[in-house]
Amino acid sequence: MTDNTGKVLDRVDQDLEQSLERLFALLRIPSISAQPKHAKDCRKAAEWLRTELTALGFDASVRETPGHPMVVGHDAVGQSGPHVLFYGHYDVQPTDPLTLWKSDPFAPVITTEGDGRRIIVARGASDDKGQLLTFIEACRAWKAVHGTLPLKVSILIEGEEESGGANLMPFLEANASELKADVALICDTGMPDRRTPAITTGLRGLVGEEVVIECATHDLHSGMFGNAARNPIELLCKALGSVRDAQGRVTLPGFYDGVSVPSETVRAQWRAIFPDDALTLAPVGLSKAAGEEGFTAIEQIWARPSYEINGISGGYEGDGFKTVLPARAMAKVSFRLVPGQDPQAVRDAFRAHIRAVLPPDARVSFTEHGASTGFAVPEDGPLLRTALGALGEEWGVPAVSIGCGGSIPVVAEVKEALDMDSLLIGFAQDDDRIHSPNEQYGVDSFHKGIRSWVRILDAFAR
């Protein structure tokens, strides 16, 4: 870190209250992208961000899409280092059920927990308004001290991430020459604990399938046709159960083709944070890892492919009892994929397996529900090492590379449309309650998040 950077960090500390006031102003806008009645609020949030970026010297504009608008800003004054594209989203999840909120979700407040930690409570505090403003406030501090940023920065802020993001990929493709940079910085992730900074270097992809098995032409009386007629619920349960063996491995041919195990260095870092499975599972009332033998719970979540039954139905599901032999049974299943797996190959293998285990008189149909590939940042990437070092300087402990069990579609879309890799750097915590009532974001996460970006920009420029 240079002396010039130290002055910027001092400015961040001095201006924290004003930064919080700006965050509160954005949080007060109910920009719920999934609800048409909030379309004007989404536009209001976009215009608020455009105004802030323009005031900081960015060439910023609100860009129309068939849905909610994008915000794009460029600051090309930086003289050295890579060109970075920062991505965030201004839209938020619906607030239902309102009765479970302890305060108005769009009237942000700061409360103090029993351990003295101060938290910001509001919808969007963590996902993603608080996170995206950590970067903008870091740019503000650089500008306030030096008049310029240390490198070339572009910013893209989406308004439909929480409602499917259907217009992001067409927008990236249509504006590829303008948005192309050396690396994308995505602040929509978190830390493994309160003190350890991290960069998410792996995301799992997804294959979603709905499978329906039908036998008789209509529901039957189980006393009149039991045993003699095929039961589609029984067939469905057997078929789905046969996709995983007794050791927890998926049985589909070729499922693990291309799947690699994280390096021992990375696995050692993860074991240091989660030395036993109880630390991972206890918050949800569990203690022992299911799934593949030979892998810890956190390794299974962050770095191994999975197969899950997300829902199943058929027959009589109302109150009381009815002796029905159903004609139809349905299940929704998902596969989380790691880098190296082909979503279409997994889908094809699943369908072939189900068809192969069904007996005569059973008909099956499938409906697909999306597909995406896994994502990984090379462990030896120079920008990754630089960013990890900068984070470690700020937090006082070595930063680690972590995985993420979920999927963040923008990463794959940026890679496909712009041919750019991404660094996922965020400061959220597991108890931030994103998408739930009483969403929160620590004041410490916000404050040290701003300071972290200051150090990362400086390190990239050098």
CATH number reported for the structural domain that contains residue 343 in this entry: 3.30.70.360
Helical spans, DSSP H, in 71-230: 129-146, 168-174, 176-179, 222-225
Q: What are phi and psi of 34, to 5 degrees?
A: -80, -15
Sites in the chain below the pLDDT cut of 50:
none
Q: Can you tell me the distance from the alpha carbon of 71 to that of 58, in angstroms, rounded to the nearest whole number?
A: 11
147 and 190 belong to one structural domain? yes
Provide the H-helix boundaries in 227-381.
232-241, 264-273, 277-281, 297-303, 343-357
User: What is the CB neighbour count within 10 angstroms for residue 305?
Assistant: 23
Q: How far is CA 322 from the centre of its chain?
A: 42
Instruction: Report if residue 270 sits inside a domain.
Output: no
Range of the domain at 151: 3-203+376-461
Q: Which amino acid is at 447?
A: H
From the list 310, 365, 355, the residue with the least C-alpha distance to 335 is 310
Q: How far apart are CA 425 and CA 396, in angstroms?
A: 17
| pLDDT given for residue 277 in this prediction | 93
C-alpha to C-alpha distance for 262 and 340, rounded to whole angstroms: 13
Residues 26 and 163 in one domain: yes
Q: How many Å apart are CA 175 and CA 226, to the nearest integer?
A: 61
Which domain-ending residue is among 323, 343, 372?
Answer: 372
Q: Specify if 276 maps to a domain.
A: no
Q: Which residue blocks in 175-263 are alpha helix, DSSP H?
A: 176-179, 222-225, 232-241
- List Cβ neighbours of 148 (8 Å cut-off, separation of 6 or more): 77, 78, 79, 142
Q: Which of 331, 347, 372 is the last residue of a domain?
A: 372
> Which of 50-53's residues contact partners 24+ apart within 8 Å by CB, and which partners?
52/22, 52/136, 53/136, 53/155
Number of domains in the chain: 2
Domain edge (last residue) among 315, 343, 372:
372
pLDDT of residue 256: 97
297 found inside a domain: no
User: What value, to the nearest 5°, has the Cα angle with vertex 352 and ends 348 and 354?
Assistant: 120
Beta-bridge partners for 329: 213, 314
Q: What amino acid is encoded at 423 in this protein? A: L
Domain-embedded: residue 289: no
**Do residues 86 and 188 make contact, with C-beta atoms less than 8 angstroms apart?**
no
Task: Tell me, yes or no, whether 368 lies in a domain.
Answer: yes
Q: Specify whether 218 is located in the same domain as 318.
A: yes
Q: What is the pTM of this model?
A: 0.85
Question: Domain with 191 in it: what CATH number?
Answer: 3.40.630.10
